[in-house]
Amino acid sequence: MDSQHLNPSSLKSRFTATFLRALIKINAQKPISSSSPREIFQRYRRIKVAADKSMAYSVRSRRTWSRATLWKLRSRSRSRLASSGRRSSVKTRTTTTTTTTTTATNHRAAIVEKTSHEKENKEDHVGLAVQAEELRELVPGGESMDLCNLLDETAHYIKCLTTQVQVMKKIANLYSLE
Amino acid sequence: MSSRRSRSRQSGASRITDDQIIDLVSKLQQLIPELRGRRPDKVSASKVLQETCNYIRSLHREVDGLSDRLSQLLASTDTDSDQAAIIRSLLM
């Protein structure tokens, strides 16, 4: 993959453009005290969501996993908006970020717990079922896929994740050269 | 070959053939740095799936770390003109 010249219609360039636009927006929301740990943490959450969202947008609805990610993000922001109806829309955005943190942490913790339980019960004759279950939890939308689709979606998901990491690394390196 | 077949899920009414699974698994194997160089018939399907899970988790952690790093870098970057230069150089 030639990293110097971006093919404008490639996944990599679509992701880069979308993610950069999101970063500019996030950066524009910086308050005066932009270096407080709380601010940095909130920005970290926003950037992470922006990265996952940008990748899912770049893939659009061509893949089950990207559809699942977009659906999850949209329903999450919709439910937060509904539950904090009294606040203004500007403040709601901050609320979304902080509540998402707890949910994500609990979700991840639950996955780790469940996975170690399954490892204890693993019998070899069950075959791929156990690992497939583990994989289903890692790939968005995996719960509803049969094994064939799961493996196919996983391959695409991994390709996209590596692209995402590659671009984010490049951006971070460029920023830190200043 | 036959041992791997017996290890994959036995399902009489399944429309998914073992060969399809084997193909998809070996395709997946090529994407995982840990297992990439090894011969497909030397690596069991369950090992490929296990390593896939580990790899995805490590990629998620990398994204987390990079988001963290970017949030720190954004905090220290003030000028919009620098950002414009970065963006231009990335998209050229």
DSSP A4-70: SS--TTSHHHHHHHHHHHHHHHHHHT--S-TTSHHHHHHHHHHHHHHHHHHHHHHHGGGSHHHHHHH
- CA–CA separation, A122 and B51 (whole Å): 16
- Contact between residue A157 and residue A136 where contact means Cβ atoms under 8 Å apart: no
Check B25 against A151: CB less than 8 A apart. Answer: yes
pLDDT digits (tens, 9 = 90+) for A128-137: 788 889 999 9
User: Could you tell me if B59 and A43 are in contact, meaning their C-beta atoms sit under 8 angstroms apart?
Assistant: no
CATH class of the region B3-91: few secondary structures
Q: Between these two residues, B88 and A158, which has the higher pLDDT value?
A: A158
Q: Number of C-alpha atoms within 13 angstroms, CB side, residue A135? A: 31
**CA angle (A86, A92, A94) in 5-degree steps:** 145
Residues of A in contact with B46 (CB under 8 A): 124, 127-128, 130-131
Residue B35 is classified by DSSP as T
The dihedral over CA atoms of B59, B64, B68, B69, expressed in degrees to the nearest 10, equals 0
Burial class of residue A16 in the structure, from the number of CB atoms within 10 Å of its CB (0-12 exposed, 13-18 middle, 19+ buried): buried
- Note the pLDDT of residue A118: 44
- Inform me whether the C-beta atom of residue A112 falls under 8 Å from chain B C-beta atoms: no
User: ipTM of the predicted structure?
Assistant: 0.74
Long-range contacts of A112-116 (CB under 8 A, 24+ apart): none
- What crossing angle do the helices spanning B80-91 and A147-176 adopt, rounded to 10°? 130
Range with the poorest average pLDDT among A66-75, A81-90, A97-106, A129-138? A97-106
Q: What confidence category does residue B86 fall into, taking pLDDT thresholds of 50, 70 and 90?
A: low
CA of A27, closest CA in chain B: separation in Å? 7
pLDDT in tens, A7-65: 667 899 899 989 988 988 888 876 656 567 788 888 889 999 999 999 999 998 889 99
A139–B49 C-beta distance less than 8 A: no
Structure tokens at A90: 């500007």
Contacts (Cβ under 8 Å, ≥6 apart) of A56: A66, A69, A70, A73
Q: Where are chain B's structural domains? A: 3-91
Nearest CB to B16: which of A139, A146, A155?
Answer: A146
pLDDT at A126: 45
- Report the candidate in A56, A74, A80 with the shortest Cα–Cα distance to residue A139: A56
User: Which pTM value belongs to this model?
Assistant: 0.72
Q: Which residues of A touch B17 (CB under 8 A)?
A: none
pLDDT of res. A120: 39
Asked if residues A115 and A133 have their Cβ atoms less than 8 Å apart, the reply is: no
Q: What is the pLDDT of chain A when averaged over all its residues?
A: 76
B65 pLDDT tier (thresholds 50, 70, 90)? very high
Say yes or no to pLDDT of B1 above 60: no
CA angle A109, A112, A117 (to 5 degrees): 130
pLDDT digits (tens, 9 = 90+) for B2-61: 555 545 455 554 566 778 888 899 899 999 988 888 887 888 888 899 999 999 999 999
Confidence of residue A157 (pLDDT cuts 50, 70, 90): very high
**How far apart (Å, rounded) are the C-alpha atoms in residues B40 and B47?**
11
What's the confidence (pLDDT) of residue A95?
44
